[in-house]
Structure 1
Amino acid sequence: MKQNYKLLSRIFLFSAVLAAATFIGCSKDEDEYIEPIPEPVVSPVTVDLTKVPYDSLSKYHFFDGEGEIIAAMKDLSPSLDVLPYAPASALFSDYAHKKRFVWMPKNTKATFNSDGTILELPVGAVLIKNFYYDNVQNIANVGGRRIIETRLMIRKSEGWIFADYKWNAEQTEATFDLLGSFTDVVFKDDNDVTRTVNYKIPNESQCVICHKSRDINDVTTYIPIGIKPQNLNNNYNYGTETKNQLTKWIEKGYLDSNFTFPTAENTTIDYNDTSQPIELRARSYVDINCAHCHGVDRHCDYRPMRFAFSETKDNLANMGVCVNTEDMQSFPPSLSKIVNAGRPENSMLYYRINTTNETYRMPLHGRTVLHDEGIALMRDWINSLDRCD
C-alpha cells in the first residue's frame, strides 16, 4: 500500500512537473511580443485626371493634415506628400499672403532643364496656391484670417490646366469658379496700417495672359511661373526642420538627386532684404513680377524688356535702362525712356508701377492697389544709376 502510494505520489509529482513545464513553455510563446505588420501609410490626396477639376476643393484632400487629429481644411495643414514651398521673392498681389504647395503622384519626380526655366513636373502633378489676409477687419472674427481663393495648376497629359476655388464666408469649403469676381477686404498690414482692397479673383482668360507661352511651332501652352530652381535655392522652415528647398525636394523624391544647384550669382534673393545690393533686389523684383510676360514668346514679348533674372545680369538694357520708349498710347511726353537713369519721374517703368489706372498700370493683372515697398525699391534703384545723358 505504501509502495503504491509512493508510486502514485511519484507519478503525480512527475505529472505536475510536466504540466508546469508545459504551462511555462506555452506561456512564454503566448507572452512573446510579435511586431505587427504596419499598415502602409497612404496619402489621402485624390487627383483623378479624368475628373478634375472637381467642383469643390475638399475633394482633393490636400489639407486633411496628418496624424490622428484631422485638421480643418481652413488650417491649410498639408496632407501626406503635399509639400510646402516658397520662392525667394513673391509676386505682389494686393498685399495678400500666400501659402504654396506641390503634390506629385507616387514614384514621379520633376526634371531639371535650366536655372532660368521652370522645373518640368510630371503628369498628375498639382501646384496649389492659397491667397489669404490676416488681421481682417470686415469679418465676424475681427482680426482673424480670411482665405479668399485657392488656385490650382494641374498637369494633364495634354498640358497644364487651371482650376480656381473661391472660399465661402464660413471658411469651410471652396468651390470651383473660373468666371472671376471682386471682393472687398479691409485688413491691417504687417506695419499695422489699415488697408482696403477690392480684391480681384481672376477669370480664366486673365490666368492665360500670365501663364501662356508659345513653343517653336507657335503653339500656345500654359506654364507655371515660380518653380524655377533659381527661386527655390534657399532655406524654408518646414516646422520640424529648416532646410534648402531643393534639397528637400530631392529627399522627398520630387527631384532627381543628380540635380545641379544654381550658383549664388544665378539665385534670386528676397527683394525686401535691405541688406542685399539694390541691383540684386531690383532684378529679383522684376523677375518675379514682370518676367513671365516680358520674355520671348510671352504675352509682352513685342516690348524690348527682358526681365528674367538670367537676362538682366550685366545687361541693364534688358531692364529698359536708357532704352527709348516707342509711341505707346497717350503717355506724357516726358516719359522718353523705359528707365531714365537717375530720373524716376521720367521713367516709363516707374510711371506704370506707380498708377492704379487700368489703362496704364503694370502688371496688367493681379494688382489693384499700389505696392508702396516695390515702388520705393524701384525708385531708389533708378536713382542709383548713372544718368543716360
Structure 2
Amino acid sequence: MLKKYTFLLWGVFSLVMVSCSQDETYEPIDEPDMVSPVVFDINSVPYPKLSDYNFYEGQMSDLEPVYGVLPYTLINTLFTDYAKKKRFIWMPSDAIATYENDNAVLNLGVGTVLIKNFYYDNVLPNLETKILETRLMIHKETGWTFANYVWNEAQTEAVLDLGGSFSAFDWIQDGETKSVNYRIPAGPECQTCHKSGDVSIPIGPKPRNLNLNYPYADGTKNQLDKLVAFGYLENSVPNNIETMVAWNDTSQPLNDRVRSYVDINCAHCHSEDAHCAYRPMRFNFDLSDDPVNMGVCVEPDTDLDQGQTHIVSPSNQVRSMMYYRISSTDEAVRMPLLGRTIVHEEGIQLVYDWIGSLTTECE
C-alpha cells in the first residue's frame, strides 16, 4: 500500500515539474490590436449617406459610436438656437494630433474627421428627440472640407446636402414652449466662420476649451489625457493649460465668463485673417483681458442710427453696439451673422450684467 502511494506521489511531482518546465518556456500570444470598423477612403469622401461611414453601431439615431470614434465636448459651445450637440472625433491609424499652444486648435492629422450632431429633445407634438443634421469636417491632403448631412423624418438616415435649408418646429425647454425655424447652413456659410484667410479650419478643439473631464464608457477621464492614451494626441500637452471658465458658471468672475462667451460665439470672425478682421475687436480669450479688444469705449465703425456711441459703453447697455447686435434677429445687424435665428436669452442677460458692472469713463 505504501509503495502505491509513493508511486502516485512521484507521478504527481513529475507532472508538476513538467508543468513548471513548460511554463518557463511559454511565450504568450499577443492579442490582435482592435481595429476601428469606420469605413473611410480619403479619396472618396464625402460619402452620399452618413451611414456609409459606419460611425455608429446599432440604430444610427442612438448615436452610439463604434470603436475608434471618441466622444468629446467643449467647456463653452457656440449658441445655435438652443440646439444640443454630440461631438465625436475619429482618426485613421496613421494619423496623430499635436499640441501647439493652449489657444491654438490641435494640429489634427490628415484623415481626421470631426463629427458634430445637432438635435433637440422634447420636440412637439410627441416630445421626441429630433436630430436635424450632422456636420463633418474632414481633413484631406488639400485641407479641411465640409460635409453636411440632413436627417430624414424617420431618423433612420442622413444624406449629404450642402445646399442649405430650414426646419420649423416647436419644442419644450425648461417647461416653456419655444419655436424655431432652424437653419441648416449651406457649404459656403460654413466657410464664412471656419476660415483663416482662405484656409478652412476647425474652431472648437483648442486645449483651453477641451481641458475638462468626460464620462467615457470606461470611466471618467480628462479629455486631453484620453486622446493621448488612445493614441490620437502626442504626449506633449503641458499640465498647466490656461483653461477657459464656463460662461454659465455663476461662481466664476463675471468678466471671465463674458470673455469665454464671446470667445466661442464671436472670436472665429473677430480675429486676424477672419471674416470680420477689419473690425477693431479681438475676442479670443487670450487677448480679451485687454478691455479695448472687448470693445470697451471703442467707437463703432458702422452707424446704425440707433444711438450707440461705443461697441461697449460702460454702464449703458442702450448705447452699446454689442448689446444691440446680440439682441437682434435682423439678419442685417445681428451678431453672430450666422448660426442663429433667435436670441440667446441667457447670453444677452450675461452681457447686460457685464456692461452694467463696468465703471470706466470713456473720453
Q: What's the TM-score, normalizing by structure 1?
A: 0.84
Matches within 5 A, 1:254-265: 254-263=232-241
Residues 171-204 of structure 1 show CA distances to partners (whole Å, capped at 9, x for unaligned) of 0000000000000121111x12110000000001
Q: Structure 1 segments of 4 or more deviating over 6 A?
A: 34-37
Q: Structure 1: how far apart are the matches of 2:224 and 2:334?
A: 35
Equivalent in the alignment of 1:303: 279
In the alignment, structure 1 residue 171 sits paired with structure 2 residue 155? yes
Equivalent in the alignment of 2:228: 250
Match of 1:350 among 300, 319, 323: 323
Match of 1:158 among 112, 125, 142: 142
In the alignment, structure 1 residue 272 sits paired with structure 2 residue 229? no
Match of 1:41 among 34, 51, 76: 34
Equivalent in the alignment of 1:331: 305
Structure 1, unmatched stretches of 5+, are 1-20, 65-70, 215-219
* CA apart distance, 1:261: 3.8
* One-letter code aligned to 2:225: T
Point out the more displaced range, 100-109 or 203-212.
Answer: 100-109
Match of 2:121 among 134, 154, 157: 134
Q: Structure 1: how far apart are the matches of 2:240 and 2:146?
A: 29
Q: Structure 2: how far apart are the matches of 1:262 and 1:330?
A: 44
Q: 1:298 to 1:366 in 2, by over 3 A?
A: same
Residues 27-73 of structure 1 show CA distances to partners (whole Å, capped at 9, x for unaligned) of xx9xxxx9998565321101111100000000101112xxxxxx211
Point out the more displaced range, 278-287 or 107-116.
Answer: 107-116
Residues 298-353 of structure 1 show CA distances to partners (whole Å, capped at 9, x for unaligned) of 0000000000000012x011010111112x15331x20100001111110000000
Residues 141-173 of structure 1 show CA distances to partners (whole Å, capped at 9, x for unaligned) of x11100000000000011000000000001000
Q: Structure 1: how far apart are the matches of 2:275 and 2:67?
A: 37
Q: Structure 2: how far apart are the matches of 1:37 and 1:304?
A: 59
Structure 2, unmatched stretches of 5+, are 1-10, 20-25
Match of 1:367 among 335, 340, 347: 340
* CA apart distance, 1:107: 3.8
* One-letter code aligned to 1:213: S
- On the 8 A contact 1:89/1:284 being kept in 2, the answer is yes
Residues 227-272 of structure 1 show CA distances to partners (whole Å, capped at 9, x for unaligned) of 1000001111214322211111111111111222443xx2112111
In the alignment, structure 1 residue 319 sits paired with structure 2 residue 294? yes
Equivalent in the alignment of 1:10: none
Matches within 5 A, 1:25-40: 40=33
Q: 1:378 to 1:126 in 2, by over 3 A?
A: same
Q: Structure 1: how far apart are the matches of 2:243 and 2:33?
A: 39
Q: Structure 2: how far apart are the matches of 1:242 and 1:293?
A: 34
- On the 8 A contact 2:98/2:236 being kept in 1, the answer is no
Match of 1:199 among 182, 192, 199: 182
* CA apart distance, 1:112: 1.3
Equivalent in the alignment of 1:123: 110
Structure number with larger C-alpha Rg: 1
SS in 2 for 1:369: coil
Equivalent in the alignment of 1:6: none
Equivalent in the alignment of 2:200: 222
Q: What's the TM-score, normalizing by structure 2?
A: 0.90
- On the 8 A contact 1:233/1:262 being kept in 2, the answer is no
In the alignment, structure 1 residue 388 sits paired with structure 2 residue 336? no
* One-letter code aligned to 1:324: E
Matches within 5 A, 1:99-118: 99-118=86-105
- On the 8 A contact 1:107/1:253 being kept in 2, the answer is no
Equivalent in the alignment of 1:53: 46
Query: How many residues are treated as equivalent by the alignment?
Result: 341
- On the 8 A contact 2:162/2:187 being kept in 1, the answer is yes
* CA apart distance, 1:387: 3.6
Point out the more displaced range, 230-239 or 162-171.
Answer: 230-239
Match of 2:167 among 178, 183, 190: 183
Q: Structure 2: how far apart are the matches of 1:387 and 1:354?
A: 23
- On the 8 A contact 1:100/1:127 being kept in 2, the answer is yes
Q: Structure 2: how far apart are the matches of 1:186 and 1:261?
A: 44
SS in 1 for 2:136: strand
Q: Structure 2: how far apart are the matches of 1:171 and 1:39?
A: 35
Equivalent in the alignment of 2:23: none
SS in 2 for 1:310: coil
